């Protein structure tokens, strides 16, 4: 998910967002540079829209130089204001600074995530350190910080609203956390560290993208496709044709391509080849190997944390979260870990029994887990997800998400075709509330393509705000579904359908936002709270209303049979050992890496040692191996924060039981309370207070264990 504003995204500091400001020319080495159209205020309907049609890749570097210069002038104007510092002329002024840079960064970030081809990787390497340096110049500006501190300590603070006080507190504490009180030499060193980290983050993500694009498993013998669903085979044939090899089949190096092969392919050597290719991303001992980069990132993070007065990077990162401390995250994870591992042993025993009965003469290995799990699922629950997939049409599920949003929050979606997009696959919907008022735009980019990073995510192109006038949000959902043959519906797996609803939950968090200041808008909340609304929305996929209306057979149009829906419900906790352990292994590695006191870390060795120490079962991998763990090494965003999915799921499981108790997931009073206490308020209140207002009490973590089918004692 990408929901933060520019400086929050890079270094989680000064918040900025787009709006109209005057154009200026920049001077570079004494030569006046022409103004790029990408720096102009956004025009068109809905308060302006991203001008994808005006993007010129060759202009990005010069445009960033101009935008950074302009943003710096705006910051200097706030810092040098001769008037006494007030909330309005300092804190609110910061909210409105850097808007040209934010707009440009939005355009570029979409290209670096979705169209990372040609010159984009080199542009990103050039631009990232400049943005890091600019962010440091803001937090290290002594005059600016003096004004913020003066407002923070003034009598005016007590007269502010609670949301304004929270904004002021967050701004002050973020500046302190970013080195505003350091001595000049330390500030200079800190800036050098941040610039170097920005470069390393870019190199890391580019290396992973290289391995995802460069490694393809080719199949030229149809016999090796046995067991794979027809829709998967068709997608593989299409992928091969796109890569110039018609008549063959291609398994690209992304999760969407890997997962069906590991789940359904009878050819065990093929499963192993695909598994090793996927899990070795960034760890192939070549020029794109990430281990050296990781070691340097960890060392720099530890040095930075120590400079700022924290024992470890994790302590620094967690200070502003719900968890507060690394120990609190470990307490929750270790409450779940032993129970999840015990469940894995049970799951493996069931798999091994089937393999033995079939005469396979194998020991279950990581490339066997998904394959034999499906056999166990069918034996225990008479559930074959191959029978489910024909009912999971991407387009119908998209309609189902929108329908649910209308039932819950009154949101109405109307597709518009006259706005510019960055790729022909992208579609756009105008979103209105129940009274017909415009609340935002939703962009949908569903398909995998060369140059697009793997996975699924939400982005905020513009934050909702209401300082001088209402400004509505623009959000997007991005996925990597594989296109089938032309004219054929795209069928997706049940897990992918859950992910689709999850990311749409992030989008709804942005679309429901109703705050005054952009840095408190939508998903700009604590990292271990932001996944709560999105994980909660997953529950609407298997409601009877969505299953009966939108999970319809792609050939007959008939609704999913109740018998099949019941099987899905009965198997809801099946394979939770696998899902929980593969995730928690990554979260535990993340936390242990970022609380380690080692001066030097060999990432591969640390991973092996730690997994052995915590009792990781041999039969499955961690979800994200360290060399391609983009959540924690492609930016600071989720570093020492991957635990947050579990923390949020504890909230989610408890919150879902409110709807269960109400008797319907469409209960109006409960949905309104969710909107009022969570979705609309953004970061204007403490997350614990928001959850408490919705639930009526603090979280009960035993709900998390019940949800996953683990014992609560």
Judge whether 257 and 273 are in contact, CB under 8 Å. no
Residue with tokens 């500091």: 13
Strand partners, 470: 466
DSSP secondary structure code for residue 637 in this structure: T
Residues 6+ apart with CB under 8 A from 136: 11, 178, 179, 187, 190, 191, 194, 195
For 299-323, what is the HEC assignment?
HHHHHHHHHCCCCCHHHHHHCCCCC
3-state secondary structure of 33: strand
3-state secondary structure of 76: helix
Strand partners, 476: 443, 459
Tokens linked to 503: 């990311």
Q: Is 607 a catalytic residue?
A: no
Tokens linked to 336: 């779940």
| Residue tagged active-site, from 347, 465, 503, 607 | 503
Which helix (H) or strand (E) is 602 found in, with range? none
Helix-, strand-, coil-residue percentages of the chain, each rounded to 5? 55, 10, 35
Judge whether 87 and 172 are in contact, CB under 8 Å. no
**For residue 445, how many other CB atoms are within 10 A of its CB?**
22
Helix extents (H) in 512-551: 527-537, 544-550
Judge whether 705 and 337 are in contact, CB under 8 Å. no
**For residue 224, how many other CB atoms are within 10 A of its CB?**
16
Question: In a 10 Å sphere around its CB, with 0-12 CB exposed, 13-18 middle and 19+ buried, how is residue 562 labelled?
Answer: exposed
Strand partners, 349: none
Give just the sign of the alpha carbon dihedral 505, 510, 515, 520. positive
For 455, left (φ over 0), alpha (ψ -120 to 50), or beta? left
Number of H-type helices and E-type strands within the chain: 28, 11
**Which active-site residues does the annotation give?**
503
């Amino acid at each position: 998910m990408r929901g933060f504003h520019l400086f929050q995204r890079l270094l989680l500091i000064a918040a900025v967002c787009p709006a109209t400001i005057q154009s200026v020319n920049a001077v570079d080495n004494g030569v006046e540079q022409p103004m790029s159209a990408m720096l102009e205020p956004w025009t068109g309907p809905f308060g302006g829209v991203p001008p994808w049609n005006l993007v010129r890749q060759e202009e990005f570097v010069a445009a960033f130089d101009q935008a950074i210069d302009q943003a710096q002038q705006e910051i200097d104007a706030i810092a040098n204001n001769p008037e006494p510092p007030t909330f309005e002329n300092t804190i609110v002024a910061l909210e409105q600074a850097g808007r040209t840079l934010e707009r440009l960064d939005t355009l570029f970030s979409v290209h670096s995530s979705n169209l990372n081809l040609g010159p984009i990787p080199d542009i990103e390497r050039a631009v990232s350190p400049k943005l890091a340096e600019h962010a440091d110049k803001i937090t290290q500006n002594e005059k600016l910080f003096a004004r913020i501190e003066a407002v923070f300590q003034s009598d005016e603070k007590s007269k502010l609203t609670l949301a304004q006080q929270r904004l002021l507190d967050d701004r002050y504490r973020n500046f302190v956390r970013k080195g505003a009180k350091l001595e000049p030499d330390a500030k200079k060193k800190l800036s050098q560290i941040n610039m170097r980290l920005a470069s390393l983050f870019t190199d890391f993500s580019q290396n992973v993208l290289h391995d995802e694009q460069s490694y393809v498993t080719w199949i030229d013998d149809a016999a090796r496709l046995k067991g794979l669903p027809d829709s998967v085979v068709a997608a593989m044939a299409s992928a091969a044709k796109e890569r110039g090899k018609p008549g063959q089949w291609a398994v690209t190096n992304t999760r969407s391509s890997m997962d069906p092969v590991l789940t359904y392919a009878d050819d065990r050597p093929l499963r192993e080849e695909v598994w090793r290719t996927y899990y070795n991303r960034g760890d192939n001992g070549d020029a794109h190997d990430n281990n050296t980069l990781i070691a340097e990132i960890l060392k720099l993070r530890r040095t930075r944390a120590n400079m700022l007065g924290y024992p470890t990077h994790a302590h620094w990162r967690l200070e502003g979260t719900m968890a507060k401390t690394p120990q609190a995250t470990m307490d929750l994870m270790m409450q779940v870990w032993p129970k999840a591992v015990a469940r894995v042993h049970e799951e493996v025993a069931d798999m091994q029994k089937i393999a033995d009965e079939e005469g396979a003469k194998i020991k279950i290995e990581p490339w066997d887990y998904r394959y034999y799990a499906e056999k166990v699922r069918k034996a225990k629950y008479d559930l074959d997800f191959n029978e489910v997939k024909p009912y999971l049409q991407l387009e119908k599920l998209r309609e189902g998400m929108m329908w649910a949003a209308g039932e819950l929050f009154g949101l109405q979606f109307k597709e518009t075709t006259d706005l510019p997009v960055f790729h022909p696959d992208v579609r756009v919907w105008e979103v209105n509330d129940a009274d017909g008022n415009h609340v935002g735009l939703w962009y949908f980019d569903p398909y995998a393509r060369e140059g697009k990073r793997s996975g699924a995510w939400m982005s905020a192109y513009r934050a909702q705000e209401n300082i001088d006038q209402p400004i509505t949000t623009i959000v997007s959902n991005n996925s990597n579904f594989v296109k089938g043959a032309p004219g054929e519906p795209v069928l997706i797996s049940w897990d992918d359908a859950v992910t689709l609803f999850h990311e749409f939950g992030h989008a709804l968090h942005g679309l429901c936002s109703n705050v005054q200041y952009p840095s408190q808008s939508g998903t700009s909340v604590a990292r271990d709270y932001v996944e709560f609304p999105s994980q909660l929305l997953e529950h609407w996929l298997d409601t009877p209303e969505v299953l009966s209306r939108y999970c319809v057979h792609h050939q007959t149009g008939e609704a999913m049979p109740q018998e099949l829906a019941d099987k899905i419900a009965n198997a809801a906790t099946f394979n939770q050992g696998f899902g929980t352990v593969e995730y928690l292994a990554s979260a535990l590695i993340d936390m242990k890496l970022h609380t380690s006191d080692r001066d030097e870390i060999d990432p591969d060795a640390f991973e092996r040692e730690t997994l052995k120490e915590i009792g990781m079962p041999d039969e499955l991998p961690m979800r994200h191996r360290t060399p391609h763990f983009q959540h924690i090494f492609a930016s600071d965003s989720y570093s020492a924060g991957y635990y947050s999915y579990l923390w949020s799921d504890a909230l989610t499981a408890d919150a879902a039981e409110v709807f269960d108790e109400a008797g319907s997931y469409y209960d109006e009073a409960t949905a309104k309370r969710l909107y009022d206490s969570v979705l609309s308020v953004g970061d204007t209140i403490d997350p614990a207070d928001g959850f408490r207002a919705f639930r009526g009490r603090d979280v009960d973590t035993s709900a998390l264990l019940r949800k996953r089918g683990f014992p609560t004692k």
